[in-house]
Structure 1
Amino acid sequence: MMPLNPILIVDVFDVWGIDFMGPFPMSFGHSYILVGVDYVSKWVEAIPCRSNDHKVVLKFLKENIFSRFGVPKAIISDGGTHFCNKPFETFLAKYGVKHKVATPYHPQTSGQVELANREIKNILMKVVNVNRKDWSIKLLDSLWAYRTAYKTILGMSPYRLVLWQSVPSPTGG
């Protein structure tokens, strides 16, 4: 007899949530951040963007997700036009990736990426200058802080889970 709720088994980098943050105050020509979060490891990839269109999304997936972590089984996004369009669907179909669209009535579906967005924004707010115009160059530092922070749900940092090593100390000790 089949269980009523089958257990879904996914591995690290099988399922990514993606979302745009912004618009933010212009920072060296950038107004948005495109964020990708692996649902298992909580690893985050993010880039500053000049626009929030489907071309940026396709380039991000190719360069920051597929080429680094392999082709995932599924991508979860909201229903924005930058994620729900013919070129995006064609791209995912080419690689055999399922696209799950989170509905406004079930926000838990995209909860991982929403949580990461909040945490990255909070980190950025602490490291940017007063006029907040340098956020795009502080994004990498914010990603490092997020990736190396202990996550209770994991019992370790995403850095340790993904790279199987402790976070290097700034003093080398």
Structure 2
Amino acid sequence: MGVKQKRSPPMMPEFVCKIFETLFPRFGAPRAIISDRGTHFCNDQFTKVMLKYGVTHRLSTAYHPQTSGQVEVSNRGLKRILERTVGENRASWSDKLDDALWAFRTAYKTPIGCTPYKLVYGKACHLPIELEHKAYWALKHTNFDIQTAGDHRKVQLNELNELRDQAYENSLIYKEKTKRIHDAKIKNRVFNVGDRVLLSLHSKPLD
């Protein structure tokens, strides 16, 4: 009687490399990738993939989550969506992850002034219930001319760089506004000679 050998699951480094090789042909290879120091990213196979596409691989500081600030913000947003729609039990989160990602990508983000979906594709994301109406409106608007619709899409793609530059400027303005609000809440302390104060070890030396 023979024993059937169980098939071992795919290795994590191979899975990570497969994801990147799927994303690069679709969205283009970035100039640099910042990752943590996990074994999923620090291995020979991942290094070869980065060299193949000419991507600089940078490692974040250990135990310093602020290095990947945007990733932490995105993960916190996804976690909040799943907690409110599915529940705090994480066992069923994987089943609803695609829906949560869709909601996150199509939601309007105040710092960038648009949706992440529009930032990638250069157009708004329409729901299936909207497609029937939108398709009918588009056909009426272009008088059933596919060439006109194609030219309009080319204009949208050409405006993509301008849209991303505008999103970058909006992000800077939002950060400056947030900093002003934060600084306004700081109270100026007046110290007199002889007062007892707490001095931080990282503070600059007093003149």
**Shorter-chain-normalised TM-score: which range?**
0.5 to 0.7
CA contact (8 A) 1:52 1:82 kept: no
**AA aligned opposite 2:17:** L
Shift of 1:71: 1.6
Aligned partner of residue 61 in structure 1, secondary structure: helix
Match 1:162 to one of 120, 123, 126: 120
2:136 alignment counterpart: none
2:44 alignment counterpart: 86
Answer yes or no: is 1:143 the counterpart of 2:101. yes
Q: 1:107 to 1:51 in 2, by over 3 A?
A: farther
CA contact (8 A) 1:78 1:101 kept: yes
Shift of 1:79: 0.8
- What is the correspondence of 1:19-98 to structure 2 with a 5 Å cutoff? 53-63=12-22, 65-98=23-56
Structure 1 stretches lacking a partner, 5+ long: 1-49
How much is the aligned-residue C-alpha RMSD, in angstroms? 2.4
Q: 1:140 to 1:88 in 2, by over 3 A?
A: same
Structure 2 stretches lacking a partner, 5+ long: 1-8, 134-207
Aligned partner of residue 58 in structure 2, secondary structure: strand
Q: 1:59 to 1:78 in 2, by over 3 A?
A: same
1:33 alignment counterpart: none
Identity of aligned residues (%): 51
* 1:45-69 Cα deviation digits (max 9, x unpaired): xxxxx88821221111112x21321
TM-score w.r.t. structure 1 length? 0.62
**AA aligned opposite 2:20:** L
Q: Which has the higher helix share?
A: 2
CA distance in 1, matches of 2:65, 2:90: 29
Moved more, 121-130 or 68-77: 121-130
TM-score w.r.t. structure 2 length? 0.52
Aligned partner of residue 99 in structure 1, secondary structure: strand
Q: 1:160 to 1:93 in 2, by over 3 A?
A: same
Q: 1:51 to 1:126 in 2, by over 3 A?
A: farther
Q: 1:108 to 1:84 in 2, by over 3 A?
A: same
1:108 alignment counterpart: 66
CA contact (8 A) 1:54 1:82 kept: yes
Find the structure with the greater CA-based Rg. 2
CA distance in 2, matches of 1:87, 1:99: 13
Number of residue pairs aligned between Structure 1 and Structure 2:
123
